[in-house]
Amino acid sequence: MNTRLTRRRFIGITAAVVGLASVPFIRHGRNGTIPLQTAEAVPEPTVWRGIALGADAEMRLYHPDRRFAETLIGKAVAEIKRLEKIFSLYRDDSALSLLNQTGRLNRPPADLLALLSQSRNMHRLTQGAFNPAVQPLWNLYAEHFALHPHSRTAPAQTALQKTLALVDFNAVSFDSRSVSFAKPGMALSFNGIAQGYITDRITDMFRHAGLEQALVDLGEIRGLDQTRSRTWRAGIRNPDDETAVLMNVPLQNQALATSGGYGTYMDEAGRFTHLFDPHTGSSTPRYHSVSVTAETAAVADALSTAFSVSSRKNIQAAAEQTTGLGIWLVERKGMLEKL
């Protein structure tokens, strides 16, 4: 078992970029493309593929000057690396790792403060279902199953309750001078929003540079089309069959994120996932997967995470307060429901 995998390595998204009336390719599980038909009206993109925050990533830039596009890609890759040094849990020198180690970080980077602010908004919107302070739960489950890999049960209730006391995002204070925890032993994880935040930053970078069309997939998918002449389609994948697409979602200047507990299991039998309910400590999501479209990738990312452990009533309450959302739930039996 490798609990270092992020939830984005196996999310239920396939992606396709399309013209107004054509579908030149569809990508399955980030493992390559399967041509469907030619599309003469769609120019050949300049493509970059790599790794971002531990997951497969891809950028497609549509511009007639390939050198211009390649220069932008170089700047984007440098920006991704810079942001990873702030948000990564797996780099000992990242700002987040230093904060988790000491419980305090002086002179925090502006991007960390921006992400904390967005996280606070998502925490309130989802009635606490989105909670970056769940990292102690991850640590508890990871340690439990490292010692008992064949266990059929969650960590002991006493340990779970003790850990839940640390899952308190309201005990995180932050301003331009410092970020600090009110309780020793707290730790943060931005795995439920950082990829969306970085996707937005890169998309905004392309827009400000004058690029009119791009598809950015850094774990979350966001389309950029300032001409409004192109639509991208992202397929919501069947969690039980990587080759099957349950539904194609059109995207134009929107983002799509999918969360599914099947992305990373904590135990060898696959009974316990990486998606934790911050209220109960349970690691069994209510749904097989949740997909959300939103105006920004950070919002789609955070809400797909939160909705995985939320009731339909609470999902609807959050949706009523947020414009431009699309929400799809995949039940355990593979049934897709649009809210």
pLDDT tens for residues 30-42?
322 222 333 335 5
CA pair distance 207, 145, nearest whole angstrom: 45
> Residue 147's Cα: distance from chain center in Å?
29
**Dihedral over alpha carbons 14, 80, 93, 264 (to 10 degrees):** 0
Write down the pLDDT at residue 215: 94
Percent of the chain with pLDDT over 70: 84
Range picked from 42-56, 123-137, 239-253, 262-276 for highest mean pLDDT? 123-137
Q: Is the pLDDT of residue 272 over 80?
A: no
One-letter amino acid at 33 equals: T
pLDDT band at residue 6 using 50, 70 and 90 as cut-offs: very low
Q: Which two tokens stand for residue 24?
A: 């030149």
CA pair distance 124, 122, nearest whole angstrom: 5
Which helix (H) or strand (E) segment holds residue 55: the answer is strand 55-62
Beta bridge partners of 232: 17, 251
Q: Is the pLDDT of residue 224 over 80?
A: yes
Rounded alpha-carbon distances, angstroms, from residue 246 to 158, 194, 330 = 41, 26, 9
301 annotated ligand-binding residue:
yes
Write down the pLDDT at residue 43: 64
| CATH code of the domain made up of 95-181 | 1.10.3980.10
Residue 84 contacts residue 191 (beta carbons within 8 Å): no
Beta bridge partners of 92: none
Sheet with 221-225, edge to edge strand ranges: 46-52, 55-62, 213-217, 221-225, 255-259, 289-294, 326-330, 336-338
Q: How many Cα atoms are found within 13 Å in the side-chain-facing hemisphere of 266?
A: 27
| More reliable by pLDDT, 1 or 96 | 96
| Region of poorest pLDDT, from 109-113, 215-219, 318-322, 334-338 | 334-338
Domain boundaries, the chain: 95-181
225 annotated ligand-binding residue:
no
Q: Among all chains, which residue has been given the structure tokens 């970078």?
A: 205
Residue 177: DSSP 8-state: S
pLDDT band at residue 14 using 50, 70 and 90 as cut-offs: very low
CA pair distance 200, 90, nearest whole angstrom: 22
| More reliable by pLDDT, 27 or 59 | 59
Q: Is the pLDDT of residue 83 over 50?
A: yes
Q: Is the pLDDT of residue 322 over 80?
A: yes
- Average pLDDT in the chain: 84
Over residues 249-268, the pLDDT tens digits come to 888 899 999 987 666 767 67
Write down the pLDDT at residue 40: 39
Rounded alpha-carbon distances, angstroms, from residue 223 to 18, 119, 204, 275, 282 = 11, 22, 11, 26, 34
305 annotated ligand-binding residue:
yes
Sheet with 25-27, edge to edge strand ranges: 33-35, 25-27, 13-18, 231-238, 241-251
Pairing of strands 55-62, 46-52: antiparallel
Rounded alpha-carbon distances, angstroms, from residue 175 to 76, 97, 188, 216, 319 = 27, 18, 16, 30, 29
